[in-house]
């Protein structure tokens, strides 16, 4: 079996916007020596060659700051009139299944991915969606991941395409852009230009009525075939959270 990592590294990056910067403190081995000494173990009883243990502290990391999966709670406190699931309530059965890639690399920045785009691609490639599949939208914008441009460029899913995927039995979907919708600043600009409150966050807000989760900031989708692989996307079990970082991986048979 071949495993392909679809998750970005978790590390400080000065190019990230301030609201998604990660800060991690790495503690060297020697610091633990003094902790153990204070807890009562004399240096003479330390194992030979023991320098203490390395340790690390995540000082700051938003749950949406890196490759992550959004829970229904992220979109709205309710879904179809019922309390929306937080990330710890998302069934793990949703998080492992056959994967499929929908290739939208041809879409220009700020050109939304429509229902027709998705359906035409599936028809052209003779691909069939099955209930429970994990759908990965490939835009190619992961090549900008880690750059200052990343949050401000790219395409995004339309509300109609998102709703249709859910209606096909898809509970988990993901994208290699910064977000599932069009870039945030672009949405704000268009909403102000049109004076239309229905413009902003339309694909996310499908989750007010239809239950689903989506992943953002995936990487390496170019390494995958369009089908014939499994996807695992198990989130950290953060109680009450709107999302969680996840180590998203694809698994292919060694023959692939």
In order along its 256 residues, the chain shows pLDDT tens digits of 999 999 999 999 999 999 899 999 999 988 888 888 888 988 888 888 888 889 999 999 999 999 999 999 999 999 999 999 999 999 999 999 999 999 999 999 999 999 999 999 999 999 999 999 999 999 999 999 999 999 999 999 999 999 999 999 999 999 999 999 999 999 999 999 999 999 999 999 999 999 999 999 999 999 999 999 999 999 999 999 999 999 999 999 975 4
Q: Given this model, what pLDDT does residue 254 score?
A: 73
In a domain, 18, yes or no: no
Q: Given this model, what pLDDT does residue 255 score?
A: 57
In a domain, 46, yes or no: yes
Nearest CA-CA partner of 209 in 71, 81, 70, 77: 81
In a domain, 240, yes or no: yes
In a domain, 234, yes or no: yes
- Same domain, residue pair 43 and 76: no
Alpha-carbon 18 to chain mean position: 19
Distances (CA, A) of 192 to 85, 157, 188: 31, 20, 6
Number of structural domains in the chain: 2
d(CA 101, CA 203): 19
- Same domain, residue pair 161 and 238: yes
d(CA 174, CA 47): 48
Q: Identify the domain containing residue 149 by its residue range.
A: 5-9+62-252
d(CA 98, CA 200): 32
Q: Given this model, what pLDDT does residue 256 score?
A: 47
- Same domain, residue pair 53 and 178: no
In a domain, 15, yes or no: no
46: left (phi over 0), alpha (psi -120 to 50) or beta: beta
- Let me know: does 150 contact 183? Beta carbons within 8 Å: no
- Same domain, residue pair 185 and 207: yes
- Same domain, residue pair 55 and 149: no
In a domain, 147, yes or no: yes
- Same domain, residue pair 41 and 108: no
- Same domain, residue pair 69 and 42: no
Sign of the Cα torsion 14, 19, 22, 25 reads positive
- Same domain, residue pair 204 and 247: yes
Radius of gyration over every alpha carbon of the chain, rounded to an integer in angstroms: 21
- Same domain, residue pair 52 and 179: no
**CATH number of the domain residue 225 falls in:** 3.50.30.50
Nearest CA-CA partner of 172 in 224, 207, 128: 207
How confident is the model over 75-121, as pLDDT tens digits? 999 999 999 999 999 999 999 999 999 999 999 999 999 999 999 99
Instruction: Name the token pair of 238.
Output: 């953060």
Alpha-carbon 14 to chain mean position: 20
One-character DSSP codes across 30-65: HHHHHHHHHTT--GGGSPTT-----EEEEEE--TTS
- Same domain, residue pair 34 and 149: no
In a domain, 145, yes or no: yes
Beta strands in 86-169 (DSSP E): 96-103, 134-138
Eight-class DSSP state of 234: P
- Same domain, residue pair 223 and 172: yes
Q: Given this model, what pLDDT does residue 50 score?
A: 86
In a domain, 91, yes or no: yes
- Same domain, residue pair 54 and 73: no
Instruction: Name the token pair of 119.
Output: 């359906």
Q: Which residues of 124-159 are buried (b: 16+ CB within 10 A; e: fewer)?
A: eeeeebeeebbbbbbbbbbebbbeeebbebbbbbbb
């Amino acid at each position: 079996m071949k495993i392909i990592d679809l998750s970005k590294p978790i590390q400080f990056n000065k190019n990230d916007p301030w609201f998604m910067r990660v800060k991690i403190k790495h503690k060297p081995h020697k610091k633990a020596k003094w902790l153990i000494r204070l807890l009562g173990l004399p240096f003479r009883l330390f194992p030979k060659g023991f320098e203490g243990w390395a340790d690390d502290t995540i000082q700051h990391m938003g749950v949406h700051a890196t490759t992550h999966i959004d829970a229904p709670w992220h979109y709205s406190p309710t879904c179809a009139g019922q309390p929306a699931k937080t990330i710890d309530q998302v069934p793990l059965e949703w998080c492992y299944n056959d994967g499929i890639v929908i290739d939208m690399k041809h879409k220009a920045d700020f050109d939304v991915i429509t229902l027709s785009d998705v359906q035409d691609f599936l028809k052209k490639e003779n691909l069939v969606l099955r209930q429970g599949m994990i759908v990965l939208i490939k835009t190619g914008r992961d090549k900008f991941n880690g750059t200052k441009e990343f949050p401000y460029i790219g395409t995004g899913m339309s509300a109609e395409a998102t709703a249709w995927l859910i209606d096909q039995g898809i509970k988990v979907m993901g994208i290699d852009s910064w977000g599932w919708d069009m870039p945030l600043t672009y949405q704000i600009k268009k909403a102000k230009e049109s004076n239309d409150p229905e413009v902003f966050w339309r694909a996310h807000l499908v989750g007010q009525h239809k239950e689903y989760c989506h992943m953002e900031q995936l990487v390496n989708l170019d390494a995958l075939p369009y089908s014939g692989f499994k996807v695992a996307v198990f989130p950290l079990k953060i109680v009450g959270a709107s999302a969680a970082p996840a180590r998203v991986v694809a698994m292919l048979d060694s023959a692939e």
